[in-house]
Structure 1
Amino acid sequence: MWRDGDFRRLWLGQTVSQLGEHATLVVLPLFAVLTLDAGAGQLGVLRAVGQAPILLLSLFAGAWVDRWRTRTVMVLTDAGRSLALGAAAVAALLGLLGLPSLLVVAFAVGALSVFFDVAYQTSLVRMVTREQLVRGNSALEGSRSAAQIGGPALGGALVSALSAPVAAACGAVFFALSFLSIRRIGRRESVPKQSDRPPRVWRRIHEGLRFVAADSLLRTVCLASAAFQFFFAAVMTAYLLFLPRDLHLSGAVVGLALAATGPGALLGSLLAARLPHRFGHGAVLVCAAALGDGVFLFVPALRGSSVATVCALLTINFVFGAFSQLVNVTVMAVRQTVTPDGMQGRAAATINFVGMGLTPLGSLLGGFLTAEWGTRTSLLVTAAGMLLSPALMALSPLARLGRTLPASRG
């Protein structure tokens, strides 16, 4: 697989794109909190605006990607994100980057990221054989893990040590590098054949929704993902306030703590290539989700900015990164295996829509609970809510999957 130059270009482009995305996810909230003195409610709104495109655009992205070359989609979205962050950097240098401008940038980057994520998940299916999907997903998710290592730390350090314009410009450069790498992919994709008069977009969206809803495995993936993403968004809103304001950690230390999910996720990607085939996909999914989500229950007990506190945060984020990535890679392999080629984009988009569509509401809930109850109580309640996800998996056919995945439903 690694001898394939086009796969390497996809891997490299996806890696630097994810690095820019994860840096931006830290840069914008920290700029709002540390520079604009945004409160809990304002931070919740900022995060919700950045996540709203998942709810608004995922289904359209899936219907579109199934009819276009994924390379074209990824190149265009990388260019758009680079321009959006470049404009933000210029606005910040001119002293014009206020909260309204941040909302516009967050929405634009979030919207383009929706299309990029659906496209890169679909591109692998068109590039490798089904027998290579687990290895291919492990490689791509491993690169995303590397981005999680560098992205948050780099974003936090740049905001803390330099300036928001430099941090935004850094994200723009990474998206530009991804653009240059992916546009060099020369392989002609096996895009599913379309009829002379393809169905209208709403009909194609309905076909994707109906396919996922009718499949017990994909239906469970949607519900479990929705529960996790809703409460995780609420957790992160409180978390990004808890670290700098309650624990009095600097932007660089916050970035370092968040970056610990990266090496954990890298380990999770490696484990995903082995554990499901040894212990069964269902058992791995349920156990990994319970351990990864449950570790956040320890966060509210932390106090002060001592070395012990920072070490505890690093450990918590490392464990979360390892087990959540193990779940991500395994779930993606399940979805790609049971889905026919002509439905890959719509299936991925439908799961993103249902699974992550509630994240804006979760972010708003996190901001509301933090303002009303304080960060510690809201962290405890929302972290407990994350355990609903492994509970749904344990009660579903997903938990009974063995070492071998079922064949495509198409």
Structure 2
Amino acid sequence: MWRDGDFRKLWAGQTASQLGEHACLVVLPLFAVLTLNAGAGQLGVLRAVGQAPILLLSLFVGAWVDRWRTRTVMVLTDIGRTMALGGAALAGLLGWLGLPALFVVAFAVGALSVFFDVAYQASLVRLVERDQLVRGNSALEGSRSAAQIGGPALGGALVSLLSAPVAAAAGALFFALSFLSIRRIRRTESVPARSGRPPRVWRRIHEGLRFVAREGALRAVCLASGAFQFSFAAMMTVYLLFLPRELHLSASTVGLALAATGPGALLGSMLAARLPGRFGYGTVLVSAAALGDGVFLCVPALSGSSPATVPALLAVSFLFGTGGQLVNVTVMAVRQAITPDPLQARAAATITFVGMGLTPLGSLLGGFLAETWGLRTSLLVTAAGMLLSPVVMALSPLGRLGRALPGPGEVPTDG
């Protein structure tokens, strides 16, 4: 299936890159909370700074990546993230790693990750045939699942047992490994031809926005993703405070609880290659989203003194990973199948912009709610907000998709 091993190189690089990214998602917040004694508002700001590039850059990145070789984009972003985290590790060893430095590192890594994520989504279409997209996405998302297994546990353990600088250095190492793998891809990409003077970037952005707005299924993806990501960002800000402060869990235990998402996501990746063809893409999307999002409603009832707390958190993370990965793989395959090749990066960037652009505000809201309403109440409210996502999908053309992957113009319309 994979010509000249190029997909295997992409897969290996993606695994290393995602492992570094998921380790950093735990390392930076835990360093802020446990070492710098950051409050809820400061943690919300730190997470918002790391997510702000999604809002600021996604549309521009999509317009640019459609005209670049995705291999080049991924290689350059891996170099940049290696340097950013390597600098953070050095600053930490010298005793300079405070909150201002964490803000700078979080923003830099977030900005470069926007480029990487848009590029790798577009790269698959340029490496495999259209009828292999589900299998290819399942493999890549399985890569991300493997990273989710080890990344949070590794990050939490390194912060707890060693130091934040060592944890940052580990993230830099994984980005360097990703660079070494992806740079070995040799297949010439089918980048759209550049004829004459290139259109202005705003015109290219508008073309991507117009295409997504015109496609009912993609509009629904944007709305459902926006509802989920906003609520999830708020919930995770509260959750990262709730686990160590309300349940009195150590950094390594927090990392273990979060890492259970990985095995669930691995299962979700395998199921995504089979379930849509058996039960229908719409049925799988709605059911998986309801399961994965709804399970967090159980968390506010937990108590740190109960022996069932950690097993319950592991089960919650596992089910969230399974449902979330089913949704991710299925949505990505649908988006890629109904999008013409010249618009792949712009469609991915537009959905990222609309779907995740509100995450900085969600993180700030989570910090505000935690300070004013308390951790348990805030966690319950924000977890309930995540259920808006399956509701949106159920009422949209996505919920009516059948067992066959649709092509351009083949998605049922609203009404």
TM-score interval for Structure 1 and Structure 2 normalised by the shorter chain: over 0.9
Number of the residue aligned with 2:413: none
2:229, 2:359 within 8 Å by CA — same for their partners in 1?
yes
2:27·2:168 contact (CA, 8 Å) conserved in 1? yes
Partners of 2:89 and 2:98 lie apart in 1 by 12
Residue pairs, 1:248-397, within 5 angstroms: 248-397=248-397
Within 2, Cα distance between the matches of 1:406 and 1:184?
Answer: 33
> Separation in 1 of the partners of 2:390 and 2:158?
36
With the length of structure 1 as denominator, give the TM-score of the two structures: 0.99
Q: Hey, what does 2:10 align to over in structure 1?
A: 10
Q: Is 1:216 aligned to 2:252, yes or no?
A: no
Matches within 5 A, 1:152-167: 152-167=152-167
Q: Which runs of 4+ in 1 moved over 4 A?
A: none
Matches within 5 A, 1:188-267: 188-267=188-267
Pairwise CA RMSD of aligned residues?
0.9
* 8 Å Cα contact 1:78-1:178 kept in structure 2: yes
Whether 1:79 aligns to 2:79 is: yes
- For these two proteins, the number of residue pairs brought into alignment is 410
Task: Output the amino acid matched with 2:313.
Answer: L
Equivalent-residue separation in structure 1 for 2:244 and 2:305 (angstroms): 9
Q: Is the 8 A contact 1:339 1:409 kept in 2?
A: no
Q: Which amino acid aligns with 2:383?
A: A
1:135 match? 135
Cα distance per residue 1:2-46 (max 9 Å; x no partner): 564111000000000000000000000000000000000000000
Q: Distance in 1 between matches of 2:71 and 2:127?
A: 11
The separation in 1 between residues aligned to 2:326 and 2:391, in whole angstroms, is 17
Cα distance per residue 1:93-148 (max 9 Å; x no partner):
11101101100000000000000000000000000000100000000000100000
- Taking the aligned partners of 2:387 and 2:17, their CA distance within structure 1 comes to 30
Determine if contact 1:340/1:409 at 8 Å carries over to the other structure: no
2: CA distance between counterparts of 1:307 and 1:30?
A: 23
* In 1: Cα distance, 2:396 partner to 2:153 partner: 38
| TM-score normalised by L of structure 2 | 0.98
CA contact (8 A) 1:233 1:359 kept: yes
Q: CA deviation at 1:194?
A: 2.1
Residues 213-246 of structure 1, C-alpha deviations (whole Å, 9 max, x = no match): 0110000000000000000000000000000000
Task: Give the Cα separation in 2 of the matches to 1:92 and 1:146.
Answer: 28
User: Structure 1: which amino acid aligns with 2:378?
Assistant: S
- Per-residue deviation at 1:197? 1.2
SS for the counterpart of 1:307 is coil
| Alignment of 1:109 onto 2:129 | no
Matched, 1:403 2:403: yes
Shift of 1:391: 0.5
Stretches of structure 2 lacking an aligned partner (at least 5 in a row)? 411-415
> Partners in 2 of 1:248 and 1:127 — Cα distance?
47
Match of 2:145 in 1: 145
Name structure 1 gaps, 5 residues minimum. none
Question: What is aligned with 2:50?
Answer: 50
C-alpha separation in 1, matches of 2:99 and 2:386: 30
One-letter code aligned to 1:142: G
